[in-house]
Structure 1
């Protein structure tokens, strides 16, 4: 099949290229825009209590104003606010109120909203929509920041706006800068590394131009699928999409180009060499892409909407990249022929590959020692995984110079840490009954008695009198561990116990959402990991026609996963003193390192199988396979790790964690697992590694495989 695809695209290059360009233009013009969201509540299913509380709020208090942001005032000299300062606070709030911003209901300043030490005053910004992350609300907050400068002039005050909408604004704007930086750094990195590897400006730029076309097509398909499927994209999807497309795309292009160059060096004509390259490496690329795709699609089993949307999005991107690698790339290089390598002449010469041959010889001569050392290194790094601590506070990862972050720090000096975003508790009478005042008073007193609760508002009854809302201000920041533990445990237990007979109580708000996300993530760890692992094993089994090889490959990859996460724990929690790591990091590392990193294992084992089928003795087959694979795997891993490593340039600490973990994990997978551990284990197992496929290699051999003159395919037993 891959030979037929290769022949079609190589012999009809213009038709293939025009078809891709038309698809890119059409999708760019017609596809809806991809609209990411910051609201984590969008990502939880309806059976979680925080989602039920939000629905109850919408039903019982449909017109109730929603706190969107807080204006924090203080004197420039840090002193106590004077009477004229407090008057100026009121004037600023009134001036903003008179501006009539989109979806902003009120800007209120309360003379009583002054800190106990008299140094900080607050004004509340209330939205007339439940969704405080609404684009209009966020844009209105941005405009308020600019408009407040004029009435504040001439006073001794300075101010900052914080809270949910302000944080979303700063996150959006810093993310936009990050995406542009990541795109530029990724392009420069790929161009420079490809130029160094092939010494050709055309090969340095052509893959980048090709992937830009693929990026346009994939982005359009993802946006269309999100629109039709009602999926909500997480804010991080755009940054991940960039590195996945450019990283994986460059990998697949390198797999093809190295095999194409190998065929040219053996004397093949350019077009025939290109067809043979597609035929030889097509199954490997398809299997590698298939492993990544099924791993991403395993996220559909997640209870987290962000994961369920991220999985299909990245799966679509990898599928488009696979098709492009087998069609668009051969078509482009068919037009160029050997001119693609200009001005370098190295494609005409067999390289000495001294280092690669030494590695191959070491692996084949001392398999037990190399396996023990490489496994030992991974095991030592894996010890750090036991110290992993999940961090749910996304705001803590934002750059410290953002206005929302700085204003929040000022607010917390004078008010309860949870004051900016109170937890909301709802009490609902069942069967159409009404709540009585004594019941509400007793319930209120029970909430006040919970350790860790700072303040509890008086009950706010709904118009029908069947629901009451209590605003609970915690002593901790809404997203920190103590707040999440308090809400998920003691507070929810207390409201359940204090709810009068014939009523039910629900805890909602940001902290409750994060508590439910923690529960959902723990569920996903237990479900998504095994499903993705089994799916990848099935693909490996189909590729290798073996039951044994996929087992030890996945064990080695699992060890690599633990080593990657352990190294990240030691660096960020140990060396840098972070309180925890991004709560999604284990899922991301598992999927990116296990799925994408498996590409190199697949390439190595497929090459081993090819050498065995030629009748090469087992140890010599290992030596040749390793020596031939070192240049390809090394180049691909450095580029792929580099593209993910670019995320470490971001100001966001969670993107830095993600960048380090994935890039370091890919390097571990390539240089320790694929080039050392996997071939040595294969050597030690001998023909058992291929069971039962070694019994009939000719039937399983892909058509169009490039062979040296005199090569023959024989069974594993004959090659011994």
Structure 2
């Protein structure tokens, strides 16, 4: 199949390129624009208690006041607010009421702090637009207006709250995307220049993947609109890295093999056809593993991951098609001039370093497996200290952003949980009015829960069927202590409901509690499904039942080592209270799926060497010698590309960038180069059971040719032996 694909695109390169250009123009021109949601509650399905509570609030208390923006006032000298300052706050609040700002429904004064140093203005917006760009725009207008109104006073005013956080997150995301994009381009460009010393080859993948990126983003927009998925600003940053990182990987897989075929004497077009034929299966299998792993996120209960899965799967699928069609067409059209001005492509390098590594694996596979495995096991010990954090707002932007400063100052000036109180809604089950005499005792029981600062009855709906109890926790809403406290509140609220009533607990801490539950569900569902599907792909590629088991075990060990290292770096060294809650899921999929690429490339090359008549240990050594440079180059570029996410300036992308880049480095430089080939050498022929995929190939083209392995090995990054070369020159 891959030979036919290679033949088609190499024989008709211009038509292939034109088809891609037409597709790009059509898709980009017609793709819908996507709103981006940063509302945490949109992550969860409606079956969770926190979402049921939010729906009940809308039904029972449609005019309930929930601030979307909070203006925080303090004196510029840090002293207590004077009577004149209080009048200025009242005036600013009144002036804001008079302004007809889009999305703003109510503007009311808030409670001053107990120490008299802070005052608040609370702004309610349309709850149906929570987290949407319209409210970020409204927050920008509010921020400008409130600062303008405070001019000439002794007041320093800052705007916080969810709408302001959405605005700051948007600004931070745009800056982060720019830094990630620039960093990605520079890393790919410089690394390819060093590897090939050919400017055309350095620039070409950036141009081609840029075209692929435009098509992929358009298709993602169509899919998101069609299936009503959640869009999130963080996904676009991840997409940049995935498209250019994975795309460069597949570009390198193909170019290294194309150069090898040229060195073996193939005519240029035939060299590309043979390259697609030889490496196409490995690229398709690697991409298939990544796509399936990403699609497994559809099983997630979190809206963020549900959208990320199909989006990344579409991006990789388009990249795969480009790797098998667009890249071969363009390179075959340029021909060997693609390597200009370097002439080193004509001659095989000695590859002494990788040859030495290959000899080491061949001679001492047990020692190699033990040492590389020990490194992974030691790093894995750190994972037992893993803690999750749910503060998405501070995780997605620097602490210096204005809304984050407001959040921190409010935690110091007010009860830590005052900025996001928990609500308990008590409703009758038969539609009758609540027994008012039972409400005060119920509030006292809620207030007695460990971790609750106070609890009070706030309001009862006009029908008298639902009561709202405001429960203020002692802890900031996203902390582990707050999540544990809201769990205790739920237990007491459910266990002490009066007759004919039921209770629902809502608020941000309740949402975080449900997100925690949903993530734990995903660990039990997404991980095994993704692993099982990747194993099936490996089994089909290798025609083996044995190899997929130890390949996935090695990748799983790589995941554990990566999580352990990330915990040690960010929790133990930098003092973070925890890692972002979705990091293990994302890390698992990137490290397991993309990291499997290198295992696939190495094991496919090892099989190729075995089919040339080599014994298992010799095949492992030769595979490392010849495929090692490809894995090293691709692994370095992909790891460095993901590391650019650390430039975004927020803890979410910093943690993700480090974890994924470290995991890919482990996958390329520990697993694929040492652990996998040494294990395969130790297991021997049994690794290919029952398909016997390592049996020497006997073809008509071999007639009259020396026995495979008897000819001298052609040194280099991809060449194996000239002995099986004639079989590659078919068609």
- Identify whether the pair has TM-score above 0.5, normalized to the shorter chain: yes
Shift of 1:151: 1.9
1:231 maps onto 2:229 in alignment: yes
Q: Does residue 430 of the first structure (1) align with residue 429 of the second (2)? A: yes
Alpha-carbon displacement from aligned partner over 1:589-616 (angstroms, at most 9, x marks no partner) = 1111111011000001100101111112
Q: Tell whether 2:8 aligns with 1:27.
A: no
Partner of 1:711: 724
Q: State the distance in 1 between where 2:89 and 2:335 align.
A: 72
1:384 corresponding residue in structure 2 = 382
CA contact (8 A) 2:260 2:719 kept: no
What residue in structure 1 maps to residue 713 of structure 2? none
Q: Is the 8 A contact 1:417 1:474 kept in 2?
A: yes
Deviations 1:311-364 (A, max 9, x none): 111111111100000000001011100111110111101111111111111111
Tell me, what secondary structure is at the counterpart of 2:350? coil
Q: Which secondary structure does the structure 2 equivalent of 1:420 belong to? A: coil
Q: What does the per-residue CA deviation read over 1:490-514, in whole Å, with 9 as the maximum and x for residues that have no partner?
A: 1001111232110111011111110
| CA–CA separation in structure 2 for the residues paired with 1:496 and 1:686 | 60
How far the C-alpha of 1:407 sits from its partner, in A, is: 1.5
Show the counterpart of 1:442.
441
What is the number of residues matched between the two proteins? 710
Aligned residue number for residue 195 of structure 1: 193
Shift of 1:286: 0.3
Please name the residue that 2:107 is paired with: 107
Q: CA deviation at 1:132?
A: 3.1
The offset of 1:697, in angstroms, is 4.5
Cα offset for 1:710? 3.2
Change (3 A) 1:713 1:608: farther
2:303 and 2:726 map into 1 onto residues whose CA distance is: 49
1:407-451 CA-to-partner distances (Å, cap 9, x unmatched) read: 222222221112112212111111221113212222222222223
User: Which residue does 2:712 correspond to in 1?
Assistant: none
- In structure 2, the partner of 1:717 is none
TM alignment of 1:487-566, pairs within 5 A: 487-488=486-487, 490-566=488-564
Structure 2 unaligned regions, length at least 5: 703-717
In the alignment, the residues of structure 2 paired with residue 696 and residue 597 of structure 1 have an alpha-carbon distance, to the nearest angstrom, of: 23
Structure 1 residues 695, 474: closer, same or farther in 2, change over 3 A?
A: closer
Q: CA deviation at 1:629?
A: 0.8
* Aligned equivalent of 1:87: 87
Q: Provide the rounded CA distance (Å) in 1 between the counterparts of 2:452 and 2:346.
A: 75
| CA apart distance, 1:66 | 3.0
Deviation at 1:34, TM superposition (A): 2.9
Mapping of residues 80-479 of structure 1, within 5 Å: 80-110=80-110, 113-397=111-395, 398-479=397-478
Moved more, 477-486 or 318-327: 477-486
Distance in 2 between residues matched to 1:192 and 1:93, nearest whole Å: 55
Contact 1:163 1:421 in 2 (8 A): no
Counterpart in the other structure of 1:718: none
Relative to 1, partners in 2 of residues 1:159 and 1:712: Cα closer, same or farther, differing over 3 Å? closer
Three-state SS of the structure 1 residue aligned to 2:114 is coil
1:60 match: 60
Give the deviation of 1:627 after TM superposition.
0.4
The corresponding residue for 1:667 is 665
Give the counterpart of 1:621 among 607, 611, 619.
Answer: 619
State the alpha-carbon separation in 2 of the partners of residues 302 and 521 from structure 1. 8
Deviation (angstroms), 1:706? 9.1
C-alpha separation in 2, matches of 1:136 and 1:208: 34
Counterpart in the other structure of 2:479: 480
Contact 2:622 2:720 in 1 (8 A): no
| Cα distance between partner residues in 2 of 1:572 and 1:213 | 36
The alignment partner of 1:459 has SS state of strand
Distance 2:184 2:648 in 1: 13
Structure 1 position 166, deviation (Å):
1.3
Q: Give how far 1:215 is off.
A: 0.6
1:404 shift after superposition: 0.8
SS of residue paired to 1:427? strand
Asked if structure 1 preserves the Cα contact closer than 8 Å seen for 2:607 and 2:694, the reply is: no
Secondary structure, in 3 states, of the residue corresponding to 1:126? strand
Task: Note the C-alpha offset of 1:136.
Answer: 2.0
- Partner SS, residue 430 of structure 2: coil
Please show how residues 552-591 of structure 1 align to structure 2 within 5 Å: 552-591=550-589
TM (norm. structure 1) is: 0.96
Structure 2 Cα separation of the partners of residues 293 and 700 of structure 1: 34
| Matched position secondary structure for 1:33 | coil
Deviation at 1:44, TM superposition (A): 1.1
- d(CA) in 1 for partners of 2:698, 2:673: 25
Matched residue SS, 2:182: helix
Maintained 8 Å contact 1:88/1:155: yes
**CA offsets, 1:515-552, max 9 Å, x none?**
00001111111111111111111111110111111111
Is the contact made by 2:300 and 2:306 (CA closer than 8 Å) also made in structure 1? yes
Q: Is the contact made by 1:214 and 1:321 (CA closer than 8 Å) also made in structure 2?
A: yes
Deviation string 1:563-596 (CA, Å, 9 cap, x unpaired) is 1111111111111111111111111111111110
Does the 8 Å contact 1:65/1:128 carry over to 2? Answer: no
CA distance in structure 1 between the aligned counterparts of 2:545 and 2:249, rounded to whole angstroms:
27
How far apart are the structure 2 equivalents of 1:99 and 1:652? Answer: 34
Whole-Å Cα distance in 2 between the matches of residues 330 and 713 of structure 1? 22
SS of the equivalent of 2:116 reads: coil
Measured in 1, the distance between the counterparts of 2:693 and 2:638 equals: 36
Cα offset, 1:74, TM superposition: 0.4
Partner of 2:601: 603
* Kept after mapping to 1: 8 A contact 2:609/2:720: no
Instruction: Provide the C-alpha distance between the structure 2 equivalents of 1:467 and 1:426, rounded to a whole number of angstroms.
Output: 7
* Worse-superposed segment, 444-453 or 19-28: 444-453
Retained in 1: the 8 A contact 2:92–2:146? Answer: yes
Structure 2 counterpart SS, 1:465: coil
Does the C-alpha gap of structure 1 residues 428 and 709 become closer, same or farther in structure 2, counting only changes over 3 Å?
A: same
Give the Cα–Cα distance (whole angstroms) in 2 for the partners of residues 129 and 587 of structure 1.
Answer: 30
Alpha-carbon distance in structure 2 between the residues aligned to 1:699 and 1:204: 36
Q: 1:135 offset after TM fit, Å?
A: 2.4
How many Å separate the matches in 2 of 1:363 and 1:710? 23
Query: Is contact 1:564-1:665 (8 Å) kept?
Result: yes
Give how far 1:647 is off: 0.9
User: Alpha-carbon deviation of 1:557?
Assistant: 0.9
Residues 159-211 of structure 1: CA deviation (Å, up to 9, x unaligned): 11111111121111111110111111101111111111111111101101110
